[in-house]
Chains A and B, each alone.
Chain A
Amino acid sequence: MIEQINPRARRDAFGSKINRDHSPLLAFGLPWVSILLASLTPLLPVIAPAPILPPFAYLLLLAWRLMRPGLLPSWAGLPLGAFDDLYSGQPFGSGILLFSLTMIGLELLDARFPWRSFWQDWLIAIGLVAAYLVLALALSGARPHEDELVALVPQFLLSVLIFPVIARIVALLDRLRLLRIRRLG
């Protein structure tokens, strides 16, 4: 007698394994789309008299790059930074420069420390966000003033605290990214 097969035997977390495959558009496009959408945060209905919100696009870029090295090409900083500059209020080019430098820096870091845990990723993100905020201030074209560094502190703390949340969101998107939705045959 033929045993009844387990109905879940031909499925995994990403869907049916028969007749279905990953969609390249979703698998490679989702990181880009999510970072581009995060660049649109200035159009959120939050009118802030001081810089408070964390740089979401940059944090998402970091989270994707730290979680899935090699998924975003090393030149991804150019288009993503350019789009971010269109809305962020920074002079055009500052996002391109900082995003590109981040991608190069993380590439070098990967070569030196290939295996990391989340805590180390978080530490790396903290360091990079601090550098990003200070450099973005320096490149903002405004007159430098010591008060502005103090004004960055709440934004920095918020970025540090929100990074694990963003990493979780990226993990969720990563599972979504690999869903088998393409029908074969």
Chain B
Amino acid sequence: MAPPKVRGSSSNRKAQLSVFTGYLIAAAGAAIGAALLIISLWQPQALAGLRSMATDAAAPVGKAGAGARTGGQSFFEAIAGYYRAGSKNAELEQEVKVARVRLAEAAALKQENARLKAVLALRDAEQKPVALGRLIGSTSSSTRRFAYISVGSADGVAAEMPVVSPMGLVGRVLEAGRDSARVMLLTDSESTIPVRRATDDVVAFAQGQADGTLRLRLINLGLNPLKKGDVFVTSGAGGLFRPDIAVAVVDTITKDGAIARMLSNPAATDFVAVEPVWKPEAVRMLGVQAAPAKDTP
């Protein structure tokens, strides 16, 4: 459709003025936007309260959707289950046999571990989750990777707390509203997590990439010891995340590390647990709250 005709008029002074005012207000809007943008890039937490309030207001919608998502997933999984059921069954039986043996081995190891710890008089600080919630949404069209969870400061959630799923680390809380919180996912490009290889002590930083993978950068450069399929867990450095939460599995090897896939794919995650900060004293001592995320080279 053609634009309204009045704007082209050269004799109508009022119409001209209104066109001019329109431009002026629009330009003022853009200027306000630029100013707010500079403020929020400078001080990312400056407008956090406003955002949390907005998320709190819309959270019930997200919660309803999250339930539907889980339902939908299991529906499709049920259908997929019929496909090649026979061969899958055989495979699974084989796997269960192997897993039983492994389980027995693990139980033995656990027992030995407990015995050795008792000898050393170490006490296992049991980490109780602060709150259990659902993932209710994520910023699926922005380059930044944030998710929203259905628990907030009313449940004891505070900024910087790790968010884990049964499959592994999901991210950490960035802003907590009353009934909802915003979580920075591992794959956000500002997220950097200290990790180590599960089998030995090869340490690295896992940095998020926009395409949903993690870039593992080894701290000790030299011969790259990584292999495809290596599993990385949190190392506990920085004091934010407790050690030994599963993070990622290596997919392709690069010059200075590897590209890894997140183990707890947030798309397949339903319930998540918010855990307390592992060593609050250490985090405080390191000064900046976002220490492990920001101070990497």
Contacts of A50 in B (CB 8 A): 145, 187, 210-212
**Which residue numbers of A lie inside 8 Å of B, CB to CB?**
40-56, 67-70, 73-75, 77-78, 81, 86-101, 103-104, 107, 110-111, 114-115, 136-137, 139-143, 145, 147-148, 150-152, 155
Establish whether residues B190 and A75, one from each chain, have CB atoms under 8 Å apart when the complex forms: no
Nearest neighbor of B259 in chain A, beta-carbon distance: A147
Docked Cα-Cα span, A71 to B37, in Å, equals 27
Most buried by B among A107, A142, A152: A142
Interface residues contributed by chain B, number (CB under 8 Å): 66
Q: How far is the CB of B257 from chain A (nearest CB, A)?
A: 14
Of A41, A70, A77, A88, the residue contacting B29 (CB under 8 A) is A77
Inter-chain residue pair count (beta carbon < 8 A): 220
Contacts of B36 in A (CB 8 A): 92-93, 96
Nearest neighbor of A79 in chain B, beta-carbon distance: B29
Known A74-B22, A142-B144; judge A87-B55 contact (CB<8 A): yes
Nearest neighbor of B66 in chain A, beta-carbon distance: A45
Contacts of A111 in B (CB 8 A): 3, 7
Establish whether residues B26 and A104, one from each chain, have CB atoms under 8 Å apart when the complex forms: yes
Known A50-B187, A88-B139; judge A145-B209 contact (CB<8 A): yes
Establish whether residues B1 and A68, one from each chain, have CB atoms under 8 Å apart when the complex forms: yes
Q: 10 A–B contact pairs at CB < 8 A?
A: A45-B68, A50-B145, A68-B1, A69-B1, A73-B22, A75-B22, A77-B30, A100-B30, A110-B3, A142-B210
Docked Cα-Cα span, A56 to B194, in Å, equals 36
Docked Cα-Cα span, A98 to B28, in Å, equals 13
Of B46, B59, B142, B189, the residue contacting A89 (CB under 8 A) is B142
Q: Tell yes or no: B79 within 8 A of A by CB.
A: no
Docked Cα-Cα span, A54 to B61, in Å, equals 20
Docked Cα-Cα span, A141 to B1, in Å, equals 38
A45-B137, A69-B3 given; name 7 further pairs at CB < 8 Å.
Answer: A48-B138, A75-B22, A77-B29, A77-B33, A89-B139, A100-B30, A103-B26
